[in-house]
Chain A
Amino acid sequence: MLFFNGTFSLLFVALEAISFIYKGNNFLYPDAVLGMEIFFLIVYLGLEKARIFQASKGNKIEEAGPFVWAFVFSGGIMLIHLFYFQLQTYVLRMDRILNGMGMIFVAIEVVLMIFTSLTFLRSAKM
């Protein structure tokens, strides 16, 4: 799941970047709003990379600690997806699809991380 999410996040950033080029050329934006929305995409790239890394690290060392960080980062990623899904200035149909997929990825991973964390914590006590 994390592997596909990593590929998806790159694809997501690439498509979103293309969509911002399209929006910047075709739509009107108030001052600084377009820059702010692109900045969120850069934040997303860094945050998503860190989240996947921490979740992957938790899997590999079989400890719940990295999952805690991954949880925190998941909150931020979810907010960014929500912003692009609903609150950005111009929401394209493509934005709905991409961010919907992104939120499904994060939601499934969060559920899996909870179960995995509980498993690691139980095995650590034994």
Chain B
Amino acid sequence: MTFAYGNAYEMLTPGTGNQGVDVTWASVPLLTEASTGYVPLPSGCECLDLAQTAETCTAFTCHETCNLNIGECDEFCCSDPDCTADDLERFNALGECLPDGSSTDSKLCVDTTSLDQVNEKYNMHVEQDDNALEGLVCVSVENNAIEGEFYSSQADLVNNYAVLDSETYQPSYSFAISADSDAETGSQEYLFGDNLVAAIQTDSFRAAWGGVLSLPTAGVDGTCSPQNFVEFGTDVQVNECLLPVENLEATCTQTHGPLSTALYGEDLYIGTRPSSAINTPSTDWERVTVRSLLYKSLETGSVSSWESGSTSSPTAQPTSEPTALSTASPTESSSDANSTVSVSPTVAPSASPTDAPSARRALQVSSVPSTTWDASSGTCENAVVGVKYVIEHNALGVITNVQVDLTLSNVDLSNAAQTAQQGLTQSFHVSFVNTESVADSTAPERVVSGNPGYIVGLPVQAGNLVRQNAGTDDEKTAVSYLPEGLALMAASGPRGACFPSSSSPWYNLVSSTEMTASTPVLFGVDASSACSVTLTYEEFTDLSSWCIDRRNAPLLDLGATRVGIYGNANPWKAWEWVSLHRETSHLSSTAQSPVPGQLVCQNMVDRVDIEVLWTKSGEIDNPQPMILSVRAMVGQSDWKWRKTGAGANATQTFTFSQTVTFIEHKLTEADWFAYKPEIPPIIPAIPADVFYPFDIASAAQATIRGQKSGGHFVTAFVVCLAGLLRA
């Protein structure tokens, strides 16, 4: 059972934790070559003041703000360097490009009836429209001598946690708890938003879901509705729905039924082009291949890799109580006892606990188990509970490969009468990969949260500092970033419990990675997340087992020590990250320990309040939000047994919580400055080799001559005259 507190953006893959991504050390600069301090110029931006270096430049402009998928071409982001010429041609064919931070110059379009020719001048650009606006010419001009207004550097605030104590930065509110408290057929390439043509191989080759690939999603009642179709170029990362199961055996044995691996697996074909038709050659269709298989235990929610043959005779293991299949749906209150199913009391097949994306990519499933019905145990084996399509396409919009990650589970009816569930939760995801994106060797492929400035509502970039060859001349530092970003703890057990049902006592789970759910920290979104631990009287009185200094502190560990200054912080450039400072200096000097003679665990570390100080940088007209510092304030309270009845069945619930508060360092006009480049010389300097090859020997002298004003005039006159005569 899963309860999510706060913003349930995307639950992490259970059982895998939010693991850091391996560093490609070959691309990480040596520490001796890398900057060791704060670098105000973010990646992807251009410093306007050429006299400044990256370490000192604050007058920068950023023109790739729509590029949020590093290493992959973003749809309609015309300034994305990952896009090929074919991509740009496709974007232009569809109309307009996404805003990318470029300033909008004044522009004028005029009829060319009376106008015969326009000559571009300095700071003036002419666009000749030869398509829809034939006969028009558009002229834009930038007249302002000032190239923009910029935020001044706030370098003194970077990693400066002390300022967060100032009242200036304290918000008026607090999370503190009181003491008691459709396919375009006929087209040759897919365009953005097109539905994907789908077919299925049964006795014959026929259209699936009416001809287009369905991605079942929750309808108004939370049940899975197939009337939702995959749109080309649109990733779906969060999508769960409840599959009503009135007759599990019939649903399980149905050919290409909703639990069938064949439906989502290798019987499914996707048209490489919108024009792919049932009677077209097989080359027009891409067969869906199963990239990985995972097994999900519906009892604990944990996910591990699936091993062939493990489900044919699952080993039964007694469980203390039946666990609901799913309660995540908002419609769980509507009950139907006749349509309930429950979790098979089986254990997950023994498998490697690692499920890193790289490992999953390496796996290629040769034999996909079919969904079968075991009449003896009343179990539907290998039922599909999770589907993730990975669709590769080229820059022209032609699908080149379709893979699917399937999550399977075993479902039975043995405890149906005891559960009040209505069905099975299934998740359906899809992601698109442009295989012809231009690779960037200076940064890993990843989804960023802004380019460079954070976009409100996207995850805060986070990771851990890692070193190579420490202490040597070849020392390197980088950040092993967390793909899901900074995350708070979240409940993953029944009724908001911190952990799924487990035979191990909660205090023995001493790592945050053992928690199977998390809530992402989204930039600019203050949030609180909590989960609970329920102790019996017997457990509570055994204070010496759990009320031990720092025993449970790892549970509140955020799993990250670095936070990206900008949304596009490069993991291979450690200077683009600030420390996540863990503040404990304010804690009581008395350690977490039992109070003698009382049922009290004093100074129990049970909360973490994260404060994120941020500000704006760059151009006033195109501000780039940046994080200045991050502090995690560890909090503590006394856990007291309050129940009057002290029977063996008495229980009391205690809460662990984490909060995040974003505090803006507001900049006023006093913090702005106007950057005005030096006025260029009236007569431009003539290159020393302007007369090459007619005057080879005098290059050095020409340089000297060129610095004399008389030489400038003579040379400029000759060049102008030559230009006029040529015209």
B504 at interface by CB-CB < 8 Å: no
Categorize the interface residue count of chain A.
20 to 34
Docked complex: B98-137 residues within 8 A CB-CB of A: 106-108, 110, 114-119, 121-124
Total contacting residues, chain B, CB less than 8 A: 22
Nearest CB of chain A from residue B142's CB, rounded to whole Å = 8
Cα distance, A88 to B118, chains bound together (Å): 8
Q: Are B124 and A30 in contact (CB under 8 A)?
A: yes
Counting CB contacts under 8 A, is B727 at the interface? Answer: yes
Known: A27-B110, A28-B124, A30-B124. A87 touches B119 (CB 8 A): yes
* A33–B121 alpha-carbon span in the complex (Å): 8
Query: B116 — which chain A residues lie within 8 A by C-beta?
Result: 91-93, 95-96
Smallest distance from the beta carbon of B128 to chain A beta carbons, Å? Answer: 14
Bound-state CA distance A28–B108 (Å) is: 7
Is A92 a contact partner of B115 (Cβ separation < 8 A)? yes
A79: chain B residues within 8 A (beta carbon): 724
Could you tell me the distance between the alpha carbons of A90 and B119 in the complex, rounded to whole angstroms?
Answer: 7
Known: A92-B114, A96-B116. A29 touches B141 (CB 8 A): yes
A87 to B121, CA, bound (A): 10
Do B114 and A30 have beta carbons less than 8 Å apart? no
Whether the Cβ atoms of B119 and A88 lie closer than 8 Å is: yes
Cβ < 8 Å to B, chain A residues 11-60: 26-31, 33
B140 interface hit (Cβ, 8 Å): yes
Contact B115 A90 (CB under 8 A): yes
In the assembled complex, A82 has its CB within 8 A of some CB on chain B: yes
Contact yes or no, B141 A30, CB < 8 A: yes
In the complex with contacts A88-B119, A91-B115, A28-B727 CB distance below 8 A:
no
Contact present for B106 and A30 (CB under 8 Å): no
* Residue pair B727, A30 in contact (C-beta under 8 Å): no
Residues of chain B within 8 A (CB-CB) of A88 are 119
* Residues B114 and A27 in contact, CB atoms below 8 Å apart: no
Is B139 among interface residues, defined by CB-CB distance under 8 A? yes
With A82-B724, A82-B727, A87-B727 given, is the CB distance from A26 to B110 under 8 Å?
Answer: yes
CB-defined contacts of A83 to chain B, threshold 8 Å: 724
Report the Cα distance A88→B120, complex, angstroms: 9
In the complex, A79 Cα to B567 Cα: how many Å? 56
Q: Which chain B residues lie closer than 8 Å to A89 at the CB level?
A: 118-119, 121, 124
Indicate if B187 sits at the interface (CB-CB under 8 A).
no
A86 at the interface (CB under 8 A from B): yes
Does A30 contact B143, Cβ atoms closer than 8 Å? yes
Tell me the bound Cα distance from A76 to B493 in angstroms: 90
Question: In chain B, what residue has the closest Cβ to A93?
Answer: B116
Interface residues of A in 70-90 (CB under 8 A from B): 79, 82-83, 86-90
Q: Within the assembled complex, what's the spacing in Å between the Cα atoms of A31 and B121? A: 10
The closest CB in chain B to the CB of A79 belongs to B724
Residues of the B chain whose Cβ atoms lie less than 8 Å from the Cβ of A95: 116
Chain A residues whose CB sits within 8 angstroms of the CB of B118 once the complex forms: 89-91
Collect the chain A residues with CB atoms within 8 Å of residue B122's CB.
Answer: 30
Partner of A28, one of B115, B119, B141: B141
Chain A residues, Cβ within 8 Å of B724: 79, 82-83, 87
| Distance (whole angstroms) from the CB of B550 to the closest CB of chain A | 67
For A87, the chain B residues whose CB sits under 8 A away are 119, 724, 727
Would B110 and A30 count as touching, CB distance under 8 A?
Answer: no
Give CA–CA (A41, B114) in the complex, Å. 21
Q: In whole angstroms, what is the CA distance A96 to B117 when docked?
A: 10
Given the complex of chains A and B, what is the CA–CA distance between A26 and B724 in angstroms? 27
CB contacts (< 8 Å) of A27 on chain B: these are 108, 110, 139
Task: Report A27 CB to chain B, min CB distance, Å.
Answer: 6
Which residues of B have CB within 8 Å of A31? 123, 143, 145
Of the listed residues B114, B116, B142, B145, the one surrounded by the most CB atoms of chain A closer than 10 A to its CB is: B116
Which A-B residue pairs are the 4 nearest by beta carbons? A91-B117, A28-B141, A30-B124, A86-B727
7 CB < 8 A contacts A-B: A28-B108, A29-B124, A30-B121, A83-B724, A91-B117, A92-B114, A95-B116
Beyond A79-B724, A90-B118, A93-B116, 8 additional contacts (C-beta under 8 Å) are A27-B110, A29-B124, A29-B141, A31-B143, A82-B724, A87-B119, A87-B727, A92-B115
